Amino acid sequence: MIGTLDAKIPSGPLDRKWQSHRDHSRLVSPNNRRKFEIIVVGSGLAGGSAAATLGELGYRVKCFCFQDSPRRAHSIAAQGGINAAKNYQNDGDSVYRLFYDTIKGGDFRSREANVYRLAEVSNLIIDQCVEQGVPFAREYGGLLANRSFGGAQVSRTFYARGQTGQQLLLGCYQALCRQIAAGTVQMFPQTEMLDIVVVDGHAKGIITRNLLTGKIDKYPADAVVLATGGYGNAFYLSTNARGCNVTATYRAYKKGALFANPCFTQIHPTCIPQSGDYQSKLTLMSESLRNDGRVWVPKRKEDCQKPPDQLPEQDRDYYLERKYPSFGNLAPRDISSRAAKEVCDEGRGVGPSGRGVYLDFADAIKRLGEDTIRERYGNLFEIYLKITGENAYKMPMRIYPAVHYTMGGLWVDYNLMSNLPGLHVIGEANFSDHGANRLGASALMQGLADGYFILPYTLPNYLAGQMGKRPSTDHAEFKKAETDVRAKIDNILRVNGNRSLDSIHRELGALLWNKCGMARNAEGLREALAKIPELRDEFWRTVRVPGKGQDFNQSLERAGRVADFLEFAELMCIDALERDESCGGHFREEHQTPDGEALRDDDNFATVFAWEFQGNGQIAAPKLHREPLHFETVHLAQRSYK
Ligand SMILES: Cc1cc2nc3c(=O)[nH]c(=O)nc-3n(C[C@H](O)[C@H](O)[C@H](O)COP(=O)(O)OP(=O)(O)OC[C@H]3O[C@@H](n4cnc5c(N)ncnc54)[C@H](O)[C@@H]3O)c2cc1C
C-alpha cells in the first residue's frame, strides 16, 4: 500500500539544497563499498556514466544492455548538443537562468529543487567531458563554442558538430572500459532484463535473458539502477533507435514502481517527413539547424506545389518569426510543432503528403557562406541528402514534427529512488526534470548529471542501511520471477498465428499518434481506450513469432516489447484523459487560449500524476497518486515566447 508520496526534497534555500543534502547524506566507507553489488541496467549516457562512476568509487557493478556493445546505446544518436550554464558567451546566462528556462520550458510541471540541481551540476559535466577528451567544437581562439537551442535567449549549448551524443558516449565508454579492466564493472551485453525481483519490499535483483543463447538468468544485488531510456517507440514511428522500448520500466511498474506522467511525450518539430506507409523509422534533423535555418510555408494554399525558389519573399509566411518575434525560429519544441501542424491543417503544408514545412538556409548561406554552414551541420545535410535525395544547400529542407522523447517515466524522489526502496531510475527512464516539455540539449545534460554527479551521492544514502541484506537467488521471489518470465515467453511462442508483429505495432502506433499525439481530446482518448484492448487481444490470438526461446531470436525479443507497449499504451491514454488541462506537449484541444496555445489549470493540475499498477498480474484500472508541485521561487505564468 503506497501512502503519501514523499519527494524528499531537502529544506533550505533553493540554491543550498543540494549542497546541504550531500553534507547530511549517509556514506559508505571505502572498505565497505566492495561488499555491495549494484546492478545497472542500461549503458547509454545515463547508465554508462553511473556504472563507471560507481565502479571508480569501489562498488561492484554489473551493467547490462541489449545491444552488442555499450557504444550502440541510443544515446549515440543525439545530434545537436548539451546545455550548461557556463556563460562562456557572456550573454547573460547563469545557473538561475538555465533553471528558469527549464522550468518554464516544461510548462511548470516539474520540481523546482530537481531542476535547480540539474542546472547547478551542468557545468561540472562539461569539465568532466573535456577532461575525457570529448572533442567539443571550439572557437578560433580555442575556447569551447556554443550555439542556441529552443526556449533560450542565450547560447549555452556545447556540441561536437551533429554528433554530440556519439562523442559524449565515447568518453563515457572509455571511463566504463577503464572500470571493466579494473574489475569493478562486469559488462553483460546482449542481455535483456525481463523482470525485477522484489524481496521484502526492496528491489534486490533482476531476471535476464541472454539474447544470443536464450538462457534465463537470475542476478541478486543490493540495489538496482534502471537507465533504460525512453518509450517513444510506443508510437511505432519515432526518431528513436528501433530497439528503444518500455519493457524494463513497465515491468518494474507491474512490480509496484509508480509510473509518472506517462502521457508527456515530446514531438520534435524538425524531422524528415514520413514518406510511406511501410516506413519503420523517422529521422531527426537536429534543432541546432534552427540557429541558421528559417522555417516557412507559402502564404497561399495554391502556391504549395510550386518549387520554393519560385516563391518571392512576400509570398512566404515565416510563421514562427511572425508569431513568436522574441524567440522566432528558436521557439520551444512543443510550440513549434503545434505551429507546423496548424499551417499544414490549414492546407499550407508542402511536399507530396502536404505534411511538411520548409527549413531554409538560403539567408544563412548568403550571410556566412556555404563552408561555414557545412562546418556547423555538414553531417546533417548529408543524412538529409541520403534519405531524400535533395541537396539542402541548394533548396530548403522539408521537415515535419515526429515523436522524439518521453518526459514521463518511473516516479523518483530527490534521491532518484523510486517508491520501491533500492530501485533507482536515471536518465530518460525517469520522469524527473523536464515537466511537460523538454528543452533541446537538456536530455544529455540530465542523463550525465544523474550518472556522473547525482546518483553516486544519493545511492550510498540507501546502501548504508543495507549491509548484508542481499538475498540469494534461492529466495522464493527469484524463483517466482523466473517462472513468470519463462511463462510469458512460452505464451508468446504458443500463439503461432499469422499476423506480423510489425503490422500490429504499426496499428497501435497510428492509433496513439492520432488520438494521443500532438493534440488530444477526451472523445479521441476514450476511443483509443476502447481500441487498445481489442488490439492487445488480437496480438495474443494472431501474432506470428517464429523460432524458439532457447536461441537467438529477434522476433521473440521484439514481440515481448510490443506486448508491453500494448499494455502501456493504455496507461498513456488514461493519464492523458485524467489530465484535463493542456500543458507543454500535452495539448488537450478542449483547453487552449484564444491564440491556440496550451491553457494550463494550475489550481487542479500543478501536480505529478503517479500511477500504481493494480492488476495483480492482470491489466486493471491503475490507481492515481498525486504529488503536488510547490513553486517557491518561480512565479507561475502563462508561458509566452512572443
Ligand atoms: C535522434 C535523436 C537526437 C537527439 N539529440 C539530442 C541532443 O542533441 N541533445 C540532447 O540533450 N538530447 C538529444 N536526444 C535525446 C537523448 O539522446 C536521449 O534522451 C538520451 O540519450 C537517453 O539516454 P539514456 O542513457 O537515458 O538512454 P539510452 O541511451 O536510450 O540507453 C538505454 C540503455 O538501456 C538499455 N536497455 C533498455 N532496456 C533494457 C532491458 N530491458 N534490458 C537491458 N538493457 C536495456 C539499452 O541497451 C541502452 O544501453 C536525441 C534523441 C534522438 C532520438
* Same structural domain, 383 and 480: no
Query: Ligand 1 pocket test: which of 65, 68, 98, 157 has the largest number of ligand atoms within 8 Å of its C-beta?
Result: 65
Question: Domain of 528: which CATH number?
Answer: 1.20.58.100
Question: Does the pLDDT at position 617 exceed 80?
Answer: no
* Same structural domain, 282 and 398: yes
Pairing of strands 316-317, 607-612: unpaired
The residue out of 369, 404, 439 marking a domain boundary is 404
What is the reported pLDDT for 508? 98
* Same structural domain, 391 and 482: no
Question: Does the pLDDT at position 2 exceed 90?
Answer: no
* Same structural domain, 365 and 272: yes
Pairing of strands 423-425, 157-158: unpaired
Model confidence over 461-488: pLDDT tens digits?
999 999 999 999 999 999 999 999 999 9
Question: Domain of 395: which CATH number?
Answer: 3.90.700.10
Indicate if ligand 1 lies below 6 Å from the C-beta of 75.
yes
Give 125 Cα–ligand 1 centroid separation in angstroms: 17
Question: Does the pLDDT at position 616 exceed 70?
Answer: no
Question: What would the mean pLDDT of 298-306 be, rounded to a whole number?
Answer: 95
Residue 260 has phi, psi (to 5 degrees) of -100, 135
Q: With pLDDT > 90 as the criterion, what percentage of the chain qualifies?
A: 92
Model confidence over 411-468: pLDDT tens digits?
999 999 999 999 999 999 999 999 999 999 999 999 999 999 999 999 999 999 999 9
* Same structural domain, 381 and 485: no
The torsion defined by the Cα of 99, 101, 107 and 110, in degrees rounded to 10, comes to -10
Closest atom of ligand 1 relative to the 164 alpha carbon: 8
> How many domains is the chain partitioned into structurally?
2
Q: Residue 544: inside a domain, yes or no? A: yes
Q: Produce one character per residue of 428-457: b if its CB has 16 or more CB atoms within 10 Å, e if not.
A: bbbbbbbbbbbbbbbbbbbbbbbbbbbbbb
Model confidence over 396-408: pLDDT tens digits?
999 999 999 999 9
Question: What would the mean pLDDT of 2-11 be, rounded to a whole number?
Answer: 88
Question: Does the pLDDT at position 92 exceed 90?
Answer: yes
Residue type, 48: G
* Same structural domain, 397 and 487: no
Question: What would the mean pLDDT of 514-526 be, rounded to a whole number?
Answer: 97
In this prediction, residue 619 has a pLDDT band, given cuts at 50, 70 and 90, of low
In this prediction, residue 639 has a pLDDT band, given cuts at 50, 70 and 90, of confident
What is the reported pLDDT for 277? 86
The residue out of 404, 432, 447 marking a domain boundary is 404
Closest atom of ligand 1 relative to the 442 alpha carbon: 11
Indicate if ligand 1 lies below 6 Å from the C-beta of 159.
no
Question: Does the pLDDT at position 34 exceed 80?
Answer: yes
Q: Residue 16: inside a domain, yes or no? A: no
What is the reported pLDDT for 642? 81
Q: Residue 160: inside a domain, yes or no? A: no
Q: Residue 389: inside a domain, yes or no? A: yes
* Same structural domain, 373 and 289: yes
Q: Residue 451: inside a domain, yes or no? A: no
Q: Residue 545: inside a domain, yes or no? A: yes
* Same structural domain, 481 and 578: yes
In this prediction, residue 410 has a pLDDT band, given cuts at 50, 70 and 90, of very high
Nearest C-alpha to atom 10 of ligand 1 is from which residue? Answer: 441
Q: Which of 114, 147, 165, 157 shows the shortest CA–CA distance to 10?
A: 114
Indicate if ligand 1 lies below 6 Å from the C-beta of 400.
no
Closest atom of ligand 1 relative to the 240 alpha carbon: 53
C-alpha cell at 241: 533507435
Nearest C-alpha to atom 5 of ligand 1 is from which residue? Answer: 78
Residue type, 359: L
What is the reported pLDDT for 376? 87
What is the reported pLDDT for 583? 97
Please name the residue that has the C-alpha cell 519544441.
333
Indicate if ligand 1 lies below 6 Å from the C-beta of 169.
no
The residue out of 404, 421, 453 marking a domain boundary is 404
Indicate if ligand 1 lies below 6 Å from the C-beta of 43.
yes
Query: 291 vs 171, which has greater pLDDT?
Result: 171
C-alpha cell at 328: 522566432
Question: Does the pLDDT at position 276 exceed 90?
Answer: no
Question: What would the mean pLDDT of 612-622 be, rounded to a whole number?
Answer: 77
In this prediction, residue 287 has a pLDDT band, given cuts at 50, 70 and 90, of confident
Q: Which residue range is the domain that position 280 belongs to?
A: 268-404
Indicate if ligand 1 lies below 6 Å from the C-beta of 404.
yes
Residue 386 has phi, psi (to 5 degrees) of -65, -35
Closest atom of ligand 1 relative to the 287 alpha carbon: 8
Q: Residue 546: inside a domain, yes or no? A: yes
